[in-house]
Structure 1
Amino acid sequence: MSRFKRGGKFVDSRAGFRNEKEEPTVPQGLLKTARKSGQLNLSGRGLTEVPQSVWRLNLDTPEEAKQDVCFGAVDRWWEQTDLTKLLLASNKLQVLSEDIRLLPALTVLDIHDNQLTSLPKAIGELEHLQKVNLSRNKLKELPEELWNLKDLRSLHLQENEIEKVSEGVGQLSCVSDMDLSNNRLTAIPDSFSNLTNLVKLNLSNNKLRSLPPGIGAMKSLKHLDCTSNQLERVPEELAQMASLEQLYLRHNKLRCLPELPSCKLLKELHVGNNQIELLGPEHLKHLNAISVLELSENKLKSLPDEIALLKGLERLELTNNDISSLPCTLGSLPKLKIVALEGNPLRSIRRDLLTKGTQELLKYLRSREQEPEEKGKDAPQTAMTLPSQAKVNVHAIKTLKALEYSEKQEASIPDDVFDAVCNNPITSVNFSKNQLTGIPARIVELKATVSDLNLGFNKLTCVPLEICMLQQLVHLDFRNNLLCSLPAELEALMKLRSVILSFNRFKAFPDVLYQITTLETILISSNQIGTIDPLRLKQLSKLATLDLQNNDIMQVPPELGNCTSLRALMLDGNPFRNPRAAIVARGTDALLEYLRSRIPT
């Protein structure tokens, strides 16, 4: 007897002696659907090999044809469609069979997140392939046959172990998107110059010491990422890439900024974490379209006055350089929204001014530029000030559009202060360092023009709804008060870009801040906040600076790493154990990368 009964079930007595390898199976329903749609998704099924039934999908007679049944219009297996899309991602595949040639109609092949160490030569026979994703495998080399795929548009090979790409890559004349990041490349072949249709090229996180001069021939390239390599210079030919819009050269060994006279469309230039010591007029004069200039973690000592040429500049990142002063011309840039200056030994600008945000800084620089002309006007105007307005800086009201009444230790703002405004438009209000327990009701009189409101260092316990009437507000400073909540109506401030809430009594991150999508800066250190919602934070797509230092955060959610808009994330002084202090000290980029690596997959 080869079978006997145990516990009411039949058991095969020879089962323990068998060596047969059971072939993984795919549900017949999936295969049946694939014959109709031309698409088969086998992702995340734990496959160690691709079943033969998949390779022979369009060759073998299907199971339903062997059944003695009548076929309706829906079940006519003989009217099948050739398989064009095969998804095998997130399995445990170590090899691919040469039988892949039996699916000649494939246009999409996705095998990312597997354990492939090589590719079959037969892949070169799939002449209709347009998109191939082989990322996150263990590939060390690529077969020459891969370059036969003349219709290929997208090739993703990131996060493998590839050490060399052969000259044959130049045959992919139609490719527009190529990702070779996170490999072990030490050089790029000259044949890259043939990839004239390439729009996006990612070479980041390799070991490149140089780029081939032929790279300048890629006239369609818009996005080039060479972050985290060993580049000491870039070829002059790079300047010939007329379509280039985004250039990433961060974390290299560059000593000077490349001159890019023909890159008239360049919008973003990222060269942080290099060894750049000098920024001269010759580096800036051609950057006519630049909106983001990132120079953090370099050795810059100054900025030239010619920074004023960058009329479209919106974000300037200069953190951790050696800059001691700023040119007044920086204040004249009309579109500048963010200037990041942390970690510089600035001596000519007061520290408290820097914490007020970019617009306050630019306003200060503009006022310094105007000082030589207006010094002579100051004395007579002060001498003629009316007695009732002696405590108000009328000159500031008229010339700087600023209403200043700070450091008076007053419990209320006198009516004389508002009366002195008359019909002058006011953009900035500073009532800081008083004893205010409430916001002056007459503040709404300035609602048409006021964009900057500073009520820091007072005794405010709540924010009245009247504040929501100041629809032009861009910067709001409530630091050093007694606040523990913000009204939901604050969402109405559609232009608000920065808010300072440090040194208050918040026990939770204010819910309304998640709703204000225009926010670029949130400073809320030294409170009692215990948690943050990374999914809602990610919706703040413009948020670049988030200061959560000295709160009660016990756990840093890994999903915070997906908030890639952040340029400065400060978490020091919280009681969490992970990430370790050494990781936090490495800076925002390293911290976000670490957090992303901890996200469960």
Structure 2
Amino acid sequence: MSSFRQFRANLKKSGVARDQDQESSDPNVIHPRLLQSARQSGRLDLANRGLTLIPDSVYSLLDLSQRDTSKGSSLDGDGERWWETVDLTQLLLAHNSITQVDGRILNFDTLTVLDLSHNRLDSLPSEVGQLQQLRVVNLTGNQFTAVPDALFALPLQDLKLTDNQLTTIPEDRLLTWATSLVRLDLTRNQLTELPRDFGTLATLLDLRLAKNRLEYLPPNWWQCPKLENLDVSANKLRCLFLLPAGHDRADPPVRISFPRLKVIDAHGNALVGLFGQCVPTPVTVASQPLDIGHLQLDFPALVEFSVAYNRLTDLSPVTAHCPQLLTLDANSNKLTDLPVGLFRLRNISRLDISMNDLRVLPLRLGLLESLKVLLFAGNPLRLGSRGTNTESVLTLLRNRLPAEEAAGQLPDEPAVTEVVNVAWAGATESAPAATVPEQHEAATIAVVPAATAAESAPVAKSYPSTEPSPGEDTLISAPAATKSPTHVALPSLVDYVQPTVVPDGTAEPMTCSPVVPDDQQARLLALKLESLNLENLRVSDLVAVTYAPRQIDVSNNRLAALPVCLVTSYYQTLTSLDLSKNRLDQIPWWTASSALPALPALRQLSLSHNAIKAWPSLLPAADGDALPESLPLEALPYPNLDELNLSDCHLLETPAYSLRLLFPKLTVLLLRHCRIERIPNPTAFDGIIRLDLSDNNIAHLPPKLALNTALQALFVEGNSFRFPRYQIVQQGTHAILEYLRGRIPR
């Protein structure tokens, strides 16, 4: 008996060894025992086996005529039994190098799960469309440029096409998925738009469209009533909810309701407003304030809302209609105030409003007892004490809130919000027009905390038009530094920085109609000329402005430089100038020798979202000349500038000279979201109180940065340096500066 057992053991070993040798020599040969197991379990897992094709033995898996039954009467009695065979329902071929799927895939007509992720496929055979039992398809990490046509013939429940090269989804092909599709993942593709019938997906629960190139979502996507999770992060979206043409006249009113929606992740886009409207082409205004009180909004289940790293100025349309909200992330936007609806959220536990433009923290935040985490760093707040943690900050705010205000009723949420205008082929001429109101075509009322009627200033006296240069239709710019200067020439007291006055290059500048501001604008002493597609501005455009504005906003236009007329007309009173989102490639600069006055009253200058690549260049000097400690104020155009915003520009480094040379009174410098790679002169920020270098590409934080003793707020998050470590950076300015001081060579 012992010899018989030994014989049987040797026989089994030799058979296994022979099978293993054959399998190791050719990765496309599948071990028979693996196929046998698949026939018994209904699941064939061939993931990560180096396959370059689907072997014939797989296609013939259920073919009785091809099955090896030689072991059916073997001595050990382990042959297959036909009554133990089940239909194949799961075919897993992930992480191989398969380039093609054979039409014989139709042999598996009972297949419910097909995983072909991380292969080299760019198409599927039409036979796949006949697998009517198929419910789950994973094609992640392949080379598809379009959704395979065969998939539109299947009642799929779960489709993953992540990490492909999709550019579009064909129109009118989603009908088969309308009552079946539950999860759709199209993350990391190249999609620029979605089909207009996207709102027909009535059973969709989970939609993931992150890291594509979407500029807008179709007007009816919010008609997916069962949606629970939406991820549209890292796209180019300008709005979330695109309203159809004529939405203000719809009967019944437009209703946007998500009874099950729990998570919205829209961080890292270009959101200007949460709502947009379809308008006819051409679009003359990118966005405009609009009353959306006629809309019926409802987000009863929303618990997490992330819109970080956008350009939002208002969150009220959503916060007023999501009573269960737990987490609100509005980091790195342009919020100047918090919506009233936020103070009605009794369950909110995490609020991130860091890196915005908030001047004060509303005292009513102290009444949010459920709030556990409050992040507000990076705002130009003026607080005597900020507390050490969320609890202490809330206590501080609560103690400052008058009792009568705490017991009073909250005001109603304003119905007017910023709405983005989107050119849409289906929009008719009867749709709401995307034009500036006729009665004040060139300027709208700017909501700024300025003077009252009693403080209205006299009209600023314009410089005589007989000056030899510059003319009224010129633009001001300064040449950028190509190399970091180390010396400065001293030919005269007014020519330390090289100026250039560039005439406008257009035959007929695109200016607005003459500005006719109303009484309220005059009372506010503000002039708002944003989003008018201006290429230039002339003195003749301003003849009807009978007051001297203190705040001027010409953002979101097409200006290549600062219009001269704004300098010559309002140099005595101008305190705030917004040139963001234009086409400037240089910091506007001039000296007294250019016959232009300085701006002695200017305190705030915003040049963000321009193509500025370098700092103003100092004139070269002879060898041996040293940089002066200061320049005469009459040589500088901004002698009293307090805040300079250069965020989202193309700067590659910080200035190599001391900023006090050009901006002697500067205390706030914002360089967020630039392309800064190095800090050539770490002591250049003498006198700066608030310095924002976050979200750049700085590889090394020089220790001597701590020698700028005036620094009270330093932001360096989102860079590539390894030291100081993340834990230290998160502790704030004091910890960062202490770390850097400890590494300055003695």
Contact 1:268 1:293 in 2 (8 A): yes
Picking from 329, 332, 339, the partner of 1:294 is 329
Q: How big is the shift at 1:82?
A: 1.3
- Percentage of matched positions with identical amino acids: 32
Picking from 85, 90, 95, the partner of 2:90 is 85
Say which is worse superposed, 33-42 or 318-327, in terms of deviation: 318-327
Which residue of structure 1 aligns with residue 199 of structure 2? Answer: 193
- Give the letter aligned to residue 91 of structure 1: N
* Cα separation, partners in 2 of 1:334 and 1:170, compared to 1, 3 Å: farther
Contact 1:305 1:329 in 2 (8 A): no
Alignment partner of 1:209 is 2:215: yes
Which residue of structure 1 aligns with residue 395 of structure 2? Answer: 363
CA deviations on 1:462-487 (whole Å, 9 max, x unpaired) are xxxxxxxxxxxxxxxxxxxxxxxxxx
CA deviations on 1:429-451 (whole Å, 9 max, x unpaired) are xxxxxxxxxxxxxxxxxxxxxxx
Q: How does 1:494-533 map to 2 (within 5 A)?
A: none
Cα distance in 1 for residues equivalent to 2:333 and 2:175: 35
Q: How big is the shift at 1:67?
A: 4.2
Q: Is the helix fraction higher in 1 or 2?
A: 1
Alignment partner of 1:95 is 2:100: yes
SS of the equivalent of 1:325 reads coil
Q: How big is the shift at 1:575?
A: 4.5
Cα distance in 1 for residues equivalent to 2:72 and 2:45: 29
CA deviations on 1:241-300 (whole Å, 9 max, x unpaired) are 3322111221222112458721121111111111112344x5432121111111111111
Picking from 140, 143, 165, the partner of 2:145 is 140
Picking from 256, 267, 270, the partner of 1:239 is 256
- Give the letter aligned to residue 190 of structure 2: R
Cα distance in 2 for residues equivalent to 1:283 and 1:373: 25
CA deviations on 1:69-123 (whole Å, 9 max, x unpaired) are 1595873045411111111011111111111111111111111111111112111
Cα distance in 2 for residues equivalent to 1:203 and 1:132: 17
Contact 2:27 2:49 in 1 (8 A): no
Alignment partner of 1:340 is 2:346: no
Picking from 48, 53, 71, the partner of 1:44 is 48
Picking from 118, 121, 127, the partner of 1:116 is 121
- Give the letter aligned to residue 316 of structure 1: L
Contact 1:304 1:327 in 2 (8 A): no
Cα distance in 2 for residues equivalent to 1:27 and 1:345: 68
Contact 2:98 2:120 in 1 (8 A): yes
Contact 2:27 2:50 in 1 (8 A): no
TM-score computed with the length of structure 2 as normaliser? 0.46
Picking from 49, 66, 70, the partner of 2:70 is 66
- Count of aligned pairs: 364
Contact 2:69 2:80 in 1 (8 A): no
Q: How does 1:121-520 map to 2 (within 5 A)?
A: 121-150=126-155, 152-166=156-170, 167-172=172-177, 173-233=179-239, 234-236=241-243, 239-258=256-275, 261-280=297-316, 282-351=317-386, 353=387, 356-370=388-402
Contact 1:176 1:198 in 2 (8 A): yes
Cα distance in 2 for residues equivalent to 1:299 and 1:225: 22
* Cα separation, partners in 2 of 1:57 and 1:153, compared to 1, 3 Å: same
Q: How big is the shift at 1:348?
A: 2.0
SS of the equivalent of 2:305 reads strand
Cα distance in 2 for residues equivalent to 1:255 and 1:205: 18
Give the alignment's Cα RMSD to 1 decimal: 3.1
Contact 2:205 2:226 in 1 (8 A): yes
Contact 1:65 1:77 in 2 (8 A): no
Which residue of structure 1 aligns with residue 36 of structure 2? Answer: 32
Cα distance in 1 for residues equivalent to 2:255 and 2:78: 59
- Give the letter aligned to residue 242 of structure 2: P
* Cα separation, partners in 2 of 1:23 and 1:331, compared to 1, 3 Å: closer
- Give the letter aligned to residue 276 of structure 1: L
Q: How big is the shift at 1:240?
A: 2.5
- Give the letter aligned to residue 253 of structure 1: A
Which residue of structure 1 aligns with residue 651 of structure 2? Answer: none
Alignment partner of 1:53 is 2:85: no
Whose RCO is larger (CA < 8 A, sep 6+)? 2
Contact 1:92 1:115 in 2 (8 A): yes
Cα distance in 1 for residues equivalent to 2:357 and 2:37: 63
